[in-house]
Structure 1
Amino acid sequence: MEGPNEFELSTLPTDGISTVRFGPTSTGFLLASSWDKSVRLYDVNSNVLRVQYHHAAAVLDCCFSDEVHGFSGGLDKFVKMFDFNASSDTVLGAHHDAIRCVNHCPALGLVCTGSWDKTVKLWDVRNNRGVAGTLDQQEKVYTMDVSQEKLIVGSKGRHVLIWDLRNTSQPLWRRESTLKYQTRSIRCFPNGQGYVLSSIEGRVAVEFFDPSPDAQKTKYAFKCHRIKENGKETIYPVTAISFHLIHNTFATGGCDGFVNVWDAFNRKRLAQFHRYPTTIASLSFNCDGSLLAIASSYMLEEGEKESPPRDTIIIRHVTDMETKPK
């Protein structure tokens, strides 16, 4: 199901889509990882699959470091780097369990991988020196993001650890999610002030790094991705978050199949798009905020189905009316 300002990518993955990520500077290059063991590079402007490479098992996350290098990890436990110009991949190393998260820290030239083995590993990709450090976490890593030199890790048990990647002897702060149930996604504000996290309970929390009492008073949480039908409210997990890099607003996606756009500072919803076929597994705004990649992919939240909804990646042209604070 597409709207008039949307189109579906061609040559889609053949199994569940885990992550979509636009490149850091190009408006049109998109990485997509999948349970079909592939990582695919699309040129969305021409709707062409440029390159794909594979792991030995499902790929759970991927990212760019620059426009010609991609990184990925998943159930095979290996961290791979792919050079799109040379069409060659390199195994950087491995974790002891599945890799759930892969993020790039451009300020320090590091790629960070978070695993179910309760560690985050830092890979020196600028100087090709391999593992630059290992950060022990309290539990299995479920979600991560990078803000300048900070790494924010959300793990099982609602733990949130904030690390300064310039000094990793211990976490900068140890926090617990203000939401009551398991964290699903964490993403940082482009302005570096804080982060947003979502949970399985249909709620989103807006948090700030500044530990001062005045700053902490401004944090808050709100309900979303809930549908009332016939007098009954159904609550859906909030599965994906992506920030608009220009306007500092963000989109959320849920198991209800909806995408909402929020202005955190004015505490209001700016837009809601039409309902997509199934769970929003991942979202990504491109660098100038003109496009939003939407991965609609059934995540077995209702168990195995004989005819599950078809997985798809939709590219939506977004406007300032939908994404700019009013």
Structure 2
Amino acid sequence: MSVQYDLPDPPTDAISAVKFAPKSSRMLVSSWDKFVYLYDTAPPSGQLLSKFEHRAPVLDVCFGENENVAYTAGVDHACRRIDLTTSDQKLLSTHAAGVRSVAYSPSHNILISASWDCTLHVHRLTDTSQEPLKIMLPNKPFSLSTTATKLVVAMSARTVHIYELSSLAANDKPEPWQRRESSLKFMTRAVSCMPTDLGYASGSIEGRVAVEWFDPSTESQARKYAFKCHRLNPPEGDEGGDIVYPVNALAFHPTHGTFASGGGDGIVALWDGLAKRRIRQYQRYSSSVAALGFSGDGKYLAIATCPGFEDGKEAVGEGEIKIHIRGLADGEAKGKGAK
């Protein structure tokens, strides 16, 4: 039986990211209120453990080489390391514009930060005194995701670059392993990689999700597809077509390989990407779904909700900001053909 509860002491401004620790119930949350929050999400209600103040809104956060280390990306152009036990913060690098995303690779012990100044910084964490490797991007990055071997960078102008992490770790001034044009016609909002290291899903502002594979062979590329989601039927008598909402968040289940999507319509849906089918759709939340994250063991799904412009509420105070923790029943996130 599924259970759901809301974490106490949620952020006071829009939530930008939720990230579970790989091997525990600890979770990091970043917010536009200039804080990073550390929670223990263990049922029945979870608890806030610590808050870490920044100089400006925090756009992304991730755990690092262990569960006492976090990395953050902020509007103040900075990429930072936080010691979660002492609260000490260390500046790793400064971009020329806001830092949109951070991603840590445990297999290569590197941190990648992506900034609106159209650069990636690759930090080799074995020696943080070294200058990070700086890679110019052709367009503004909107989302990052990693597998054990790959980094996917989704950018404006429908541009997608895929890098081999081994090349980034070797400091080779690497070129992308692949350059692609997104299958989606409108701006990419989120990208998330398959835990199988075989491909990724991306979501757009126009209520669509695309599923693609890394293998460049013609046969494999023929398998990619896109589908409509996060749309509502128009009111009765309205002939204007569906009401379309952005896909704000995507997250793959760590063991089943299915994925969740969260939209501006306040809906979370689970999808079987291989079978091309929706597994289930949860009840509508009172605000836009801003971020999603599965726990490392796949037993919980964190759902962050907050008002978005699609709600007609420009002031965050007009709506609810919540972090819902959904405990998944056995088989709830399994694909249709899974045993």
TM-score, length basis structure 2? 0.92
Q: Counterpart in 2 of 1:202? A: 207
Deviations 1:273-322 (A, max 9, x none): 11111111000000111100000012333352586211111101012332
Q: Counterpart in 2 of 1:270? A: 279
Q: Counterpart in 1 of 2:292? A: 283
2:259 is matched by which residue type in structure 1? F
After superposition, the Cα gap between the structure-2 partners of 1:126 and 1:51, relative to the gap in structure 1 and judged at 3 Å, is: farther
Moved more, 250-259 or 154-163: 154-163
- 1:293 is paired with a residue of what secondary structure? strand
Structure 1 regions of 5+ residues with no counterpart? none
1:319 is matched by which residue type in structure 2? A
After superposition, the Cα gap between the structure-2 partners of 1:318 and 1:175, relative to the gap in structure 1 and judged at 3 Å, is: same
Structure 2 regions of 5+ residues with no counterpart? 168-172
Following the alignment from structure 1 to structure 2, what is the Cα–Cα distance between the partners of residues 270 and 137?
Answer: 36
1:282 is matched by which residue type in structure 2? A
Deviations 1:201-221 (A, max 9, x none): 110000000000000001111
Q: Counterpart in 1 of 2:327? A: 317
- 1:291-302 matches, within 5 Å, as 291-301=300-310, 302=312
After superposition, the Cα gap between the structure-2 partners of 1:163 and 1:228, relative to the gap in structure 1 and judged at 3 Å, is: same
- 2:29 is paired with a residue of what secondary structure? strand
Q: Counterpart in 2 of 1:32? A: 29
Q: Structure 1 segments of 4 or more deviating over 4 A?
A: none
Following the alignment from structure 1 to structure 2, what is the Cα–Cα distance between the partners of residues 186 and 41?
Answer: 24
Q: Alpha-carbon deviation of 1:130?
A: 4.1
Q: Counterpart in 2 of 1:56? A: 55
Q: Counterpart in 1 of 2:254? A: 245
8 Å Cα contact 1:153/1:161 also seen in 2: yes
Q: Counterpart in 1 of 2:170? A: none
- 1:116-155 matches, within 5 Å, as 116-155=116-155
- 1:295 is paired with a residue of what secondary structure? strand
Following the alignment from structure 1 to structure 2, what is the Cα–Cα distance between the partners of residues 243 and 166?
Answer: 23
Following the alignment from structure 1 to structure 2, what is the Cα–Cα distance between the partners of residues 276 and 103?
Answer: 28
Q: Counterpart in 2 of 1:20? A: 18
**Identity percentage over the alignment?**
38
Aligned residues: 323
8 Å Cα contact 1:119/1:137 also seen in 2: yes
8 Å Cα contact 2:150/2:164 also seen in 1: yes
Q: Counterpart in 2 of 1:187? A: 192
8 Å Cα contact 1:34/1:59 also seen in 2: yes
Following the alignment from structure 1 to structure 2, what is the Cα–Cα distance between the partners of residues 126 and 306?
Answer: 40
- 1:215 is paired with a residue of what secondary structure? helix
8 Å Cα contact 1:81/1:89 also seen in 2: yes
Following the alignment from structure 2 to structure 1, what is the Cα–Cα distance between the partners of residues 331 and 273?
Answer: 16
Q: Counterpart in 2 of 1:212? A: 217
Q: Counterpart in 2 of 1:304? A: 314
User: What is the CA RMSD across the aligned residues, in angstroms?
Assistant: 1.6
More strand by share: 1
